[in-house]
C-alpha cells in the first residue's frame, strides 16, 4: 500500500492529518505521522486503521530518514528551518515533498537536484503563503489574458476571531504561533511600492500607515509585511504603481498594538531580569521615562506616546496596569514576557471559533480605462481543533497531496511554489467545496 | 632589539604609531607596522629608522603569525572581530597584546589560556572604551574608599568638532568610522537603570529621551548606549538607582537625527534599488507616505513626524530636499546611501580640528548626606591627522605599551580591561601631559 508521511503533528496539522486519513480508504494510502512527542502523533492518528504514529528522535534523523525513503510523499510540517534537511533526503530517495512554509534560500538551492531526480518539492501551499498565491495569480492571469495591463496589486490576510466568539476589546484571539504574533512587523523593514514609488517602513512605523479594508461589512486595517518588492518577480508584475502584501486586523487593533511597539514592549533583542515580585504596572514602567513616575501608568503612557482612550482600555484589559498581579516569568526579553501574557488573554476558549479573512485588490488598465477588482474570502473555523487556520493551511496541502498521489500530479518537477495555473486550476475549485469561496467585484475608476 | 608589532595602520592609528616611533630610541625598541595596504603602513612609518612596514596578506595569516611570534608586544588595530585570532597566536607564543576594542565573548574565552601562558591581553584601552573606564573607576574607588556609598553613575562621551571648525548646522564632523555614526543607537535596545528602575529604550526612542549635559559652558545632549546594566558587574556597582553610559552630541543634533531614525532613513536591514537618476528629494520620499506626494518634502516631513524648523533646515543643508542632485550610489541599504552623503557633508576639512568631550556624574551617600560629583574633560585635536580622536585612542595604548615594555608592567596576566588602580594610576597621570586633564566638581544635593 502507498503511504504518505507527515512529519510534525502540532496544532496546525489537525485538518491536514484528518483529511488525509478520511481519504485514505478511497485513495488507497496509509498515513504515517511522526512527532517528537509520540502522544501528539497518536492523538492525531486517533486509532485510524490506515494511520500509524511514530516518534521523531530529538537526537538523530535515522528513523526520520528511513521513513522518508519508504514513503511515496512527504508532508513536512516540521519547523521551517528543517524543511530543507527533509527535502534533501527525499530528493535523494526520489520522494516528493509538500511544505506550507516560505521557500528558503537553502530550499531554493535544491531545485537542480530535485529536477534531476524528477521530484516535485512544493512549498508555500498553505493559507498565507498558499491560498493567497493561487487566488491572486488566477485573477492576475485572467486580467492579463483578457488584455488588461496590471498597475497595482495589494493583498492582505489575517487570522482573526469569529464575530460570535469575539468578546475582548482587541477583537483578536490566537489561532497560530503566538511568538509570530508578538514579533509581527518587527523582523525588519517593510518594503513595497505605493503610488509609483519604492517605499520603506521601519518596524516602528508599520502599524501607523494602515490600509482600510472592508470585507462583509466589517472594517479592517492592513499593515505591510516584509519584502513585497520580491513579488515583482515572483508574480511577474513589473512596473507596478502599487505592490503591497500585508496582514489585516480588526480596525483599532493596530493603533493599540503600535503603542506596545513604540514603547519597546515587544522587543526581542535583549534579555532583562526583573524582580520576582514585580507587578504588571511596575513592569510597564520599564518602558516609560522616569519623569512620569509620579503619574498613573495610563497617564504616563499618554505623556510618552500618542495613545488614546480605547488603546489604554485595551492595555488595561491585558492587565498591564495591574498593581497587584505581575508576570509569571520575570526573566527574558520583553517579547517573551508579553507572549506569556497574550497566550492566556487571547486564548481560543472551548466553543470559540476563529476566522480567516483574505482580501486582494487588482488595479489594471484595459482599452484606455482603469479598473479595480477585489477578490476576497472569509471562513470561520469549526472549533478549537479544526480552526479556520488549520483548515486553510491543511486543506490545500491535502488537496495537493491527493492530486500528486492519485490525480495525475501537477506536471512539474523541481522546487516550486503554486503561482501557476497547473496548481490553482486544481486546488482552488476543490477548496470551494470546503467553503473557501472567493467573491469578486469590479469597478471602473 | 625589542620590537612592537602594530597590526593595522588606518586613520585611527596615526597618534599611536607616531608616539611609539617617537619613543623608540629612548625605549630601545623598533616598531613594525603591518597593513593590508602596504603604502598605508609605509606612510605611517614615514621612513623612521626604527620603523618597518610590511604588507598583511588578505589571503592567509602566515606572515602575520610569523611577525606575532617574533614580537615582544602586539598592538592589534585590526577590525574588532579579528582581535581574538591575533590574541590566540600571541598567547601561544607568549607575546602580550593590547587592543582598543570592546572585549568580545571570544576574547573572554581566552582568559585561562592567557593566564596559563603568563601573558597579558589588555583590551578596551582607547578612549571609549578606555579613558572612560580609567577616569570613572578612579573616582568610584576614591568615593568608596572614602566611605561613600555609590547611588548613581552616568557617563557620556562624544567625538565632535572644535568650535572654531564648527561651520555647519549639525555642529558635527566625522572623526571616526562613519558607518558607526550612521548606525549609532540602531544596533539594539538600550538598557539602563534610571530612578531605581530597570529601563529599556528601543532604537527608535534613544534619540528622544535625552540627558542635558553642560561642559565648559556648552550645552550637550546625551543618549544611552546599548547595555549599561552590564556595568553593575564590570564596575562593581550593585543597587544603583541610576546607571547609564551613553554618547553626547551638541544640543539639537539628536532631535534632528531622530527624524532620520523615525523615517527609516538609517535602516540597514534591507537593500533597495532606486532609479539611477533619482534626486535626493525623490529618494527622501521613499520614507514618506504617498498621501504627502503633493506637498514639498519639508511639508511632507512635518505631516509625518514631529519635526521642527531647525531640523528641516539641517536636513535641507544635507541636501535631502534637493530636486536636481541625487545620491551617487542608488543601490544599497538606506544607511549605506546616507553614509555616502555624510562622509562628504561632515568631512573634516584641511585645517579643521575635532574635539572630544567626556562627562561622568557620580551620585553617592556619605555620613547621611547625598552628593553629586562630576568629572569631565575636553580635548581639541591638532589637525586632520593627529585628531583628538586619534590622540585619545592612541595615547593610552602607547602609554600602556611603554609601561609593559620598559616600565615594569601592570602586574596582571590574562584577558583584562583597565578598570583597576594598577592601570589608571599609571595611565591617567601620563595622559595629563598630553592635555587629557579631568576637571572635577562636587555639590551636596
CATH of the domain at B38: 3.40.50.720
A11: pLDDT strictly greater than 90: no
Domain boundary, last residue among B123, B156, B188: B123
Provide the pLDDT for residue B290: 94
Which set of grid coordinates corresponds to residue B253?
543634533
Asked if B110 contacts B87 with a C-beta cutoff of 8 angstroms, the reply is: yes
CA dihedral B307, B310, B312, B317 (to 10 degrees): -150
Provide the pLDDT for residue B365: 98
- Please indicate, yes or no, if residue B283 is contained in any of the structural domains: yes
- Please indicate, yes or no, if residue B66 is contained in any of the structural domains: yes
The stretches of A59-154 forming alpha helices (DSSP H) are 62-70, 83-93, 105-108, 111-117, 131-145
Query: Could you give the CA distance from residue B267 to residue B421 in angstroms, rounded to a whole number?
Result: 41
- Residue A367 falls in the annotated catalytic set: no
Q: Which helix or strand (DSSP H or E) is residue B149 part of?
A: strand B149-161
Say yes or no: B153 and B38 in one domain.
no
A309: pLDDT strictly greater than 90: yes
Mean pLDDT of A281-294: 96
Hey, are the CB atoms on A198 and B290 less than 8 Å from each other? no
Say yes or no: B304 and B327 in one domain.
yes
Domain boundary, last residue among B69, B99, B123: B123
Hey, are the CB atoms on B197 and A290 less than 8 Å from each other? yes
Provide the pLDDT for residue A155: 98
Say yes or no: B183 and B103 in one domain.
no
The rounded percent of chain A whose pLDDT value lies above 90 is: 97
Low-confidence ranges of chain B (pLDDT < 70): none
Buried b (16+ CB within 10 A) or exposed e, A100-136: bbebbeebeebbebbbebebbbbbbbbbbbbbbbbbb
Say yes or no: A364 and A247 in one domain.
yes
Which set of grid coordinates corresponds to residue A150?
496590471
Say yes or no: B85 and B10 in one domain.
yes
Hey, are the CB atoms on B205 and A264 less than 8 Å from each other? yes
Hey, are the CB atoms on A270 and B197 less than 8 Å from each other? no
Provide the pLDDT for residue B11: 85
- Count of the separate structural domains present in chain A: 3
Hey, are the CB atoms on A262 and B289 less than 8 Å from each other? no
Phi-psi region at A8: left, alpha or beta (left = phi > 0; alpha = psi -120 to 50): left
Say yes or no: A280 and A183 in one domain.
no
Phi-psi region at A111: left, alpha or beta (left = phi > 0; alpha = psi -120 to 50): alpha
Select from A187, A188, A200 the residue whose CB has the most chain B CBs within 10 Å, as the one to mutate to test that interface: A200
Say yes or no: B380 and B291 in one domain.
no
With CA atoms as reference, the chain B residue closest to A194 would be B290
Phi-psi region at A195: left, alpha or beta (left = phi > 0; alpha = psi -120 to 50): left
Say yes or no: A224 and A207 in one domain.
yes
Say yes or no: A162 and A280 in one domain.
no
Query: Could you give the CA distance from residue A429 to residue A424 in angstroms, rounded to a whole number?
Result: 8
Provide the pLDDT for residue A12: 86
Say yes or no: A230 and A81 in one domain.
no
**How many of the other CB atoms lie within 10 Å of CB of B87?**
27
Tell me the average pLDDT of chain A.
Answer: 96
Name the residue facing B272 among A198, A285, A334 (closest C-beta).
A198
- Please indicate, yes or no, if residue B263 is contained in any of the structural domains: no
pLDDT band per the 50, 70, 90 thresholds, residue A39: very high
**How many of the other CB atoms lie within 10 Å of CB of B146?**
9
Taking CA atoms, A100 is separated from A79, A380, B165, B341, in Å, by 10, 20, 60, 43
A209: pLDDT strictly greater than 90: no
Provide the pLDDT for residue A250: 96
Name the residue facing A270 among B189, B195, B272 (closest C-beta).
B189
Hey, are the CB atoms on A191 and B272 less than 8 Å from each other? yes
| Nearest residue to A441 via CA among A377, A393, A382, A383 | A377
Cis peptide before A129 (omega within 30 of 0): yes
Domain that holds residue A20: 2-123
Provide the pLDDT for residue B137: 98
Q: Which helix or strand (DSSP H or E) is residue A149 part of?
A: strand A149-161
- Please indicate, yes or no, if residue A56 is contained in any of the structural domains: yes
| Nearest residue to A423 via CA among A392, A402, A400 | A400
Mean pLDDT of A368-395: 96
Q: Under an 8 Å CB criterion, which residues of B touch A?
A: 188-189, 191, 194-195, 197-202, 204-205, 209, 227, 229, 262-264, 267, 269-270, 272-274, 282, 285-287, 289-290, 293, 334
Select from A290, A293, A294, A336 the residue whose CB has the most chain B CBs within 10 Å, as the one to mutate to test that interface: A290
- The distance of B202 to chain A (nearest Cα, Å) reads 5
Buried b (16+ CB within 10 A) or exposed e, B356-366: bbbbbbbbbee
Query: Could you give the CA distance from residue B165 to residue B380 in angstroms, rounded to a whole number?
Result: 11
- Please indicate, yes or no, if residue B428 is contained in any of the structural domains: no
- The distance of A209 to chain B (nearest Cα, Å) reads 7
Which set of grid coordinates corresponds to residue B31?
616598531
Query: Could you give the CA distance from residue A435 to residue B371 in angstroms, rounded to a whole number?
Result: 72
CB-count exposure of residue A32 (10 Å: 0-12, 13-18, 19+)? buried
- Please indicate, yes or no, if residue A312 is contained in any of the structural domains: yes
**Active-site entry in A22, A49, A128, A268:** A128
Tell me the average pLDDT of chain B.
Answer: 96
With CA atoms as reference, the chain B residue closest to A210 would be B289
**How many of the other CB atoms lie within 10 Å of CB of A11?**
15
| Nearest residue to B127 via CA among B176, B85, B81, B80 | B176
DSSP 8-state symbol, B227: B
Domain boundary, last residue among A123, A158, A188: A123
Name the residue facing A189 among B201, B269, B285 (closest C-beta).
B269
CB-count exposure of residue B249 (10 Å: 0-12, 13-18, 19+)? buried
- Please indicate, yes or no, if residue B416 is contained in any of the structural domains: no
Which residues does chain B have within 8 Å of residue A195's beta carbon, measured at their own beta carbons? 290, 293
Hey, are the CB atoms on A200 and B282 less than 8 Å from each other? no
A172: pLDDT strictly greater than 90: yes
Which residues does chain B have within 8 Å of residue A209's beta carbon, measured at their own beta carbons? 289
Which residues does chain A have within 8 Å of residue B334's beta carbon, measured at their own beta carbons? 200
With CA atoms as reference, the chain B residue closest to A200 would be B287
Provide the pLDDT for residue A409: 97
| CA gyration radius, chain B | 23
Hey, are the CB atoms on B267 and A200 less than 8 Å from each other? yes
**How many of the other CB atoms lie within 10 Å of CB of A441?**
9
With CA atoms as reference, the chain B residue closest to A278 would be B197
Say yes or no: B55 and B99 in one domain.
yes
Which residues does chain A have within 8 Å of residue B269's beta carbon, measured at their own beta carbons? 188-189
Which residues does chain B have within 8 Å of residue A207's beta carbon, measured at their own beta carbons? none
Which residues does chain A have within 8 Å of residue B201's beta carbon, measured at their own beta carbons? 264
Say yes or no: A309 and A372 in one domain.
no
Which residues does chain B have within 8 Å of residue A290's beta carbon, measured at their own beta carbons? 194-195, 197, 199
For CA atoms B41, B42, B43, B45, give the dihedral sign: positive
Which residues does chain A have within 8 Å of residue B268's beta carbon, measured at their own beta carbons? none
**Active-site entry in B35, B37, B60, B128:** B128
ipTM, interface predicted TM-score of the complex? 0.91
Asked if A46 contacts A76 with a C-beta cutoff of 8 angstroms, the reply is: no
Name the residue facing A293 among B195, B205, B227 (closest C-beta).
B195
The stretches of B235-363 forming alpha helices (DSSP H) are 253-263, 280-285, 297-304, 309-318, 334-345
Query: Could you give the CA distance from residue A26 to residue B5 in angstroms, rounded to a whole number?
Result: 78
CATH number at residue B212: 3.30.360.10
- The distance of B243 to chain A (nearest Cα, Å) reads 13
Q: Under an 8 Å CB criterion, which residues of A touch B?
A: 188-189, 191, 194-195, 197-202, 204-205, 209, 227, 229, 262-264, 267, 269-270, 272-274, 282, 285-287, 289-290, 293, 334
- Please indicate, yes or no, if residue A182 is contained in any of the structural domains: yes
Amino acid at each position: 500500500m502507498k503511504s504518505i508521511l507527515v512529519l510534525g503533528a502540532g496544532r496546525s496539522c489537525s485538518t491536514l492529518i484528518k483529511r488525509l486519513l478520511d481519504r485514505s480508504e478511497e485513495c488507497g494510502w496509509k498515513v504515517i505521522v511522526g512527532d517528537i512527542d509520540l502522544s501528539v502523533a497518536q492523538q492525531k492518528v486517533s486509532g485510524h486503521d490506515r494511520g500509524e504514529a511514530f516518534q521523531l528522535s530529538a537526537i538523530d534523523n535515522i528513523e526520520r530518514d528511513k521513513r522518508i525513503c519508504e514513503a511515496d510523499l512527504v508532508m513536512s510540517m516540521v519547523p521551517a528551518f528543517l524543511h530543507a534537511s527533509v527535502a534533501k533526503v527525499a530528493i535523494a530517495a526520489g520522494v516528493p515533498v509538500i511544505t506550507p512554509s516560505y521557500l528558503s534560500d537553502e530550499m531554493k538551492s535544491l531545485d537542480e537536484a530535485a529536477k534531476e531526480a524528477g521530484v516535485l518539492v512544493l512549498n508555500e501551499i498553505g493559507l498565507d503563503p498558499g491560498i493567497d498565491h493561487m487566488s491572486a495569480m488566477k485573477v492576475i492571469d485572467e486580467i492579463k489574458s483578457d488584455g488588461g495591463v496590471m498597475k497595482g496589486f495589494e493583498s492582505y490576510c489575517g487570522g482573526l476571531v469569529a464575530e460570535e466568539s469575539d468578546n475582548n476589546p482587541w477583537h483578536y484571539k490566537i489561532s497560530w504561533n503566538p511568538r509570530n504574533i508578538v514579533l509581527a512587523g518587527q523582523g525588519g523593514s517593510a518594503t513595497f511600492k505605493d503610488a509609483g514609488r519604492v517605499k520603506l517602513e521601519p518596524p516602528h512605523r508599520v502599524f501607523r500607515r494602515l490600509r482600510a479594508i472592508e470585507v462583509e461589512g466589517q472594517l479592517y486595517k492592513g499593515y505591510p509585511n516584509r519584502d513585497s518588492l520580491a513579488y515583482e518577480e515572483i508574480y511577474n508584475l513589473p512596473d507596478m504603481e502599487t505592490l503591497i502584501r500585508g496582514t489585516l486586523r480588526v480596525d483599532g487593533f493596530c493603533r493599540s498594538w503600535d503603542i506596545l511597539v513604540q514603547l519597546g514592549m515587544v522587543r526581542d533583542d535583549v534579555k532583562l531580569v526583573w524582580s520576582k515580585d514585580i507587578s504588571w504596572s511596575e513592569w510597564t514602567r520599564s518602558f516609560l521615562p522616569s519623569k512620569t513616575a509620579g503619574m498613573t501608568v495610563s497617564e504616563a503612557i499618554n505623556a510618552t506616546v500618542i495613545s488614546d482612550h480605547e488603546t489604554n482600555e485595551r492595555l488595561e484589559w491585558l492587565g498591564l496596569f495591574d498593581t497587584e498581579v505581575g508576570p509569571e516569568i520575570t526573566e527574558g526579553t520583553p517579547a517573551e514576557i508579553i507572549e506569556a501574557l497574550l497566550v492566556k488573554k487571547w486564548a481560543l476558549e472551548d466553543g470559540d471559533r476563529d476566522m480567516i479573512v483574505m482580501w486582494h485588490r487588482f488595479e489594471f488598465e484595459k482599452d484606455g480605462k482603469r479598473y479595480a477588482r477585489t477578490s476576497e474570502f472569509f471562513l470561520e473555523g469549526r472549533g478549537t481543533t479544526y480552526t479556520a487556520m488549520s483548515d486553510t493551511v491543511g486543506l490545500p496541502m491535502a488537496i495537493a497531496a491527493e492530486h500528486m498521489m492519485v490525480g495525475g500530479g501537477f506536471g512539474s518537477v523541481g522546487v516550486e511554489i503554486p503561482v501557476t495555473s497547473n496548481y490553482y486550476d486544481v486546488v482552488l475549485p476543490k477548496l470551494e467545496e470546503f467553503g473557501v469561496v472567493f467573491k469578486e467585484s469590479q469597478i471602473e475608476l
